[in-house]
Amino acid sequence: MQDFTRREILKTGAAATLGATVASPALLAAARAWAAESQWQPESGAKLRVLRWKRFVQSEHEAFMASVDAFTKATGVAVRVDSEGFEDLRPKAAVAANIGSGPDIIWGIHADAHLYPNAMLDVSDVCDHLGGKYGGWYPIAEHYGKREGKWINVPITISGNLINYRKSMVQKAGFETFPDNTDDFLKLMQNLNKQGTPGGFALGNASGDGNCWTHWILWSHGGKVVDENDNVVINSPETVAGLEYVGELGKTFIPGAASWLDGHNNKAFLQGACSVSNNGISIYAAAVREGMTEIAEDMDHAFYPVGPVGEPTEFHVAFPLMVYNHTNYPNAAKALTAWLMEKEQYDAFLQGSVGYLSHPLRAYKDHPVWTEDPKRLVFRDVAERSRSFAHAGSLGYAASSVFADFVVVNMIAEVATGAKTPKEAATDAQKRAERYYNV
């Protein structure tokens, strides 16, 4: 069988089709009208370098680049856009912050700006403008975007990470609909494994998929890294209960999941080897795009099952635009970030994202992209449902560092693979987290 990868399937090579990245006459006209009235007038001779993660949906990238093209033609600001993978981008973002040089804007992940807040440009004027114009920001966007009362990044989008599943395999395993609670979910995974169609979840240090499902498991049983006073409490009875659940769940996983990173589950799912996993809508988008009709018609998406805490405990992937204060052209940078979220182009951006990327501003909830295909609908609400990785404490350097060090992911993986007992894993995670909280 052909060896599919996420990049191959979604055509995410380094170069986009040139014709698709040129602004349409209507978009260009809108950009020129917007630029003439914008409160951010670029500096003379301004030029910007933007670093973003490699696109997972080609049509999203085309919409993004068309918007950049319109901005350049409307303002005269040359914009260079480079792309890196998630795991390559994050250290480069840190280097730029530490040396005070590099890209003017980095399309980062989660709350990385809180690792180096002093390197970030204050973009409160941009965010206040956008929030006032488009119905306000969802709480998760404001939480990640603000520090000490000011905005240190512009939350451009949030990517929903939910359950992807094969309907026929789930039904064969005895469930007419996907389970909405963790007890039935475990039964489903056990049945799927017995019938030779197992599911699987990333256990490697995956910034997106691995973090999302492991935090869900931790929170669903009442566990958390810290309490409301930032005391490290990950070694708790609730965490151990969640890990005991993980110990049983891990026995059902498809072989190889222990080393999965972002993208490996896509490959396994599209090869027909994996029946259930967590992901964005990129698996479905790939199946539709590549004419993989059997898989596209047979798969669907669901919210994460609710655990013993009795309420949703989801974690989704936030993407901020981080503007560095070393930029020589702060007005131009602010103008670009503001333009990228204005309705004239953001509508096209959401449409091109086909549900893979969602909105942090409330006004975009009614966008038709969510209802034109019923399989996208659950992704509409991810910004409303997402917790912060800092839950239930404050977002700062310590929380960001624990998250960046994959403390939760590693704890879950150790138990899921049988490397440690639940108590051993929780004890070790407590020690690792305490180092960052200076306990």
The pLDDT tens digits for 383-409 are 999 999 999 999 988 999 999 899 999
Comparing C-alpha atoms, which of 62, 59, 60, 159 is closest to residue 109?
159
The mean predicted confidence, pLDDT, of the chain is 93
Q: Per-residue DSSP letters for 413-426?
A: HHHHTTSS-HHHHH
pLDDT digits (tens, 9 = 90+) for 91-134: 999 999 999 999 999 999 888 899 999 999 999 999 999 999 99
Superfamily of domain 162-314+392-436: Periplasmic binding protein-like II (3.40.190.10)
Q: pLDDT at residue 4 above 70?
A: no
Answer whether the bond into residue 173 is a cis peptide, omega within 30°: no
Angle between helices 58-75 and 25-37 (to 10 degrees): 50
User: How much is the pTM?
Assistant: 0.91
Comparing C-alpha atoms, which of 109, 163, 114 is closest to residue 276?
163
Comparing C-alpha atoms, which of 85, 103, 86 is closest to residue 95?
103
- CATH 3.40.190.10 residue window(s) in the chain: 6-160+316-370, 162-314+392-436
Six-digit token string for 72: 């350049």
Q: pLDDT at residue 352 above 70?
A: yes
Domain 6-160+316-370 has CATH 3.40.50.720: no
Q: pLDDT at residue 196 above 60?
A: yes
Interatomic CA distance for residues 147 and 151, integer angstroms: 6
**Cβ distance 23 to 73 under 8 Å?**
yes
**Cβ distance 185 to 179 under 8 Å?**
yes
pLDDT of residue 207: 83
**CB-based contacts of 157, cutoff 8 Å, min separation 6:** 319, 349, 353, 357, 358, 359, 360
Q: pLDDT at residue 15 above 70?
A: no
Q: Spell out where 2-54 has E strands.
A: 47-53
Q: What type of residue is 425?
A: A
